[in-house]
Amino acid sequence: MFYDLSVSETKLTSPPEYIVVMSGGGIPSESGLMRTYKTAEVANMYLDAKVIVTMPGDTADTNSSCNLMKQEIVLRGVNPNRIIFENVGTNTRSQAQEVQKIIKTNAPVLLITSPEHIYRSIKCLNKVGLTNVSGEPSWAQEMEADFRFNDEKLGGNKAIPNIGNNIQLRYQFWNHLGYQIRVYREYLAIAFYKLKGWI
Q: Render each residue's pLDDT in the chain as its tens digit; 199 residues.
A: 888 898 888 889 899 999 999 998 888 888 889 999 999 999 999 999 999 999 999 999 999 999 999 999 999 999 999 999 999 999 999 999 999 999 988 899 999 999 999 999 999 999 999 999 999 998 776 666 777 777 777 777 777 777 777 777 777 788 888 889 999 999 999 999 999 999 9
The reply to whether 48 falls in a domain is yes
CA 42/CA 145 separation, integer angstroms: 26
In a domain, 195, yes or no: no
The pLDDT value recorded for residue 121 is 97
For residue 142, the model assigns a pLDDT of 67
198 in a structural domain: no
Within a domain: 176: no
- Structural domain total, the chain: 1
pLDDT at 143: 62
CB contact burial 9-48 (16+ within 10 A = b; e otherwise): eeeeeeebbbbbbbbbebbeeebbbbbbbbbbbbbeebee
Would 77 be classed as within a structural domain? yes
Range of the domain at 20: 2-143
Q: Is residue 151 part of a domain?
A: no
Tell me whether residue 153 is in a domain: no
- CB atoms closer than 10 angstroms to residue 159: 5
Domain containing 47 — which CATH number? 3.40.50.620
Q: Is residue 10 part of a domain?
A: yes
**What pLDDT score was predicted for residue 4?**
87
